[in-house]
Amino acid sequence: MKATRRAVLAGLGILATPAFALGGRNDLRAALDAAEKDGDPAHLASFDARALPPGQRLDLLTARAGLAIDAKLATATGAERYTLLLQQRSGTNVTPARTRRRLTLELDRLTARADRLFRGLGRTQGSVGERYRALFADPQWHYPDSDAGRDQAVADMNRVLDAARARVPALLGPVPPFCLDVTARRLSAAELAAGRGGYRELPTPQKPGAYVVDLKDIARRPSWSLRGAVHHELLPGHMTQMPMEVLADPHPLRRRYAPSYAEAWGMYAEQLAAADGVYKGDPLGELGHSHWLLFRVTRGLADLGIHLDGWSIDQARAQLIAWQGEPGYFAPFEIDLPRIAKEPATRASEAMAWLDLADTAARVPAARRVMFHQAMLRHGRMRTEVYGDWKRLA
């Protein structure tokens, strides 16, 4: 069931408050609606972003940036068009050159980290990609291909989730209590028969949320790979950011022109859990975490390679295999790469929205990190160029 703002507010006993009562402009929403309808940024010209409360300021700044890019996209081709698509989906401070540098730097860092972890386990032969392929194929980490095996995988995920739930207040500060009322569960027999993939049910005050995990091809989901999925899909990941965004009620133009933020938060949440020590004494779990991040980084590099460097699908596949060995469970190469080819700049923008979020967080003093997380969650999604202004959102 989709979580609506009306359901969430009703469950919390909160009445919608007019924007002007919060110090905002009560006519901004109408102006944004008009701009959404005809694409004309002139509707927004009279508003002063500095005088607006945080949510309205984000709505206005995001709409202005996105509409300006759309106007340029109308006539852009080739590399210019790719650049504009990248900026439309992440932020105006993101360029292909900076994206390539940052993703390459992260690839090198993650590869070195995985190599160190593999060596600690005595796995020294072959490239990191080859060692990941061997680790995925090692049957000692596979759950049985049975109902009992799938039940065990979900039980293990929920144990990880219980520990993550207890750490949310220390990591993120206060969040609506219903955000914590979430579990992992299996696809039902009917869903499996229908070929349905994994999905999320966002929590509301009336109903718990869930990450419904796809375990059909359970041999591709070794035990060490699932902890990172818990932190990304559940806590402190999507089950905090997405329901809090429902409460924030961003204008549709903000949802349109900051589409990469939800995945950015999920990836950042994986790192946040790792920095909190969840993999201490668990090198296999840390390898699983590193593989998920490698998957995100290398997809972004494949996006650049296909659209800017002229890579064929086969070239991109060979490079991904060399870098990460195995694909993410839900994105096998034969499905994901044609999609990347059809959706230029999408995976690169998601990766940059995440890395810019992580880089901004790294510059925040540890004593103020919770305040930063509150600012990044409370008002819904945002574009990368406003991350650095987080103090005005707190």
125: burial class by Cβ within 10 Å (0-12, 13-18, 19+)? exposed
Please report whether residue 76 resides in a domain: yes
Q: Which has the closest alpha carbon to 8: 181, 191, 135, 153?
A: 181
Specify the number of domains making up the chain.
1
Cβ-contact 287, 224 below 8 angstroms: yes
Please report whether residue 329 resides in a domain: yes
Which is it for the CA torsion 178, 180, 181, 186, positive or negative? Answer: positive
- Bridge partners (DSSP) of residue 185 are 212
Q: What are phi and psi of 354, to 5 degrees?
A: -65, -50
Please report whether residue 229 resides in a domain: no
Q: pLDDT for 49-104, tens place per residue?
A: 999 999 999 999 999 999 999 999 999 999 999 999 999 999 999 999 999 999 99
Q: What is the pLDDT of residue 26?
A: 87
Residue 22 has pLDDT above 60, yes or no: no
**Domain, as residue range, for 91:** 5-138+247-392
Please report whether residue 50 resides in a domain: yes
Residues 6+ positions from 133 with CB-CB distance below 8 Å:
321, 325, 326
Q: How confident is the model at residue 394 (pLDDT cuts 50, 70, 90)?
A: confident
Q: What is the mean pLDDT of residues 160-187?
A: 98
Q: What is the mean pLDDT of residues 167-188?
A: 97
What is the number of other CB atoms lying within 10 angstroms of the CB of residue 275?
14
Q: What is the mean pLDDT of residues 156-179?
A: 98
Residues 6+ positions from 334 with CB-CB distance below 8 Å:
none
Please report whether residue 236 resides in a domain: no
Please report whether residue 359 resides in a domain: yes
- The H or E element that residue 186 is part of is strand 182-186
Residue 220 has pLDDT above 90, yes or no: yes
Q: What are phi and psi of 310, to 5 degrees?
A: 75, 25
* Percent of the chain with pLDDT strictly greater than 70: 94
Please report whether residue 220 resides in a domain: no
What is d(CA 247, CA 251) in angstroms, rounded to the nearest whole number? 12
Cβ-contact 291, 225 below 8 angstroms: yes
Residue 345 has pLDDT above 70, yes or no: yes
What is d(CA 230, CA 246) in angstroms, rounded to the nearest whole number? 21
What is d(CA 243, CA 127) in angstroms, rounded to the nearest whole number? 41
Q: What is the pLDDT of residue 5?
A: 59
Residue that is written with structure tokens 């309808």 in the block: 37
258: burial class by Cβ within 10 Å (0-12, 13-18, 19+)? buried
Please report whether residue 318 resides in a domain: yes
Residue 190 has pLDDT above 70, yes or no: yes
Tokens in use for 318? 């060979």
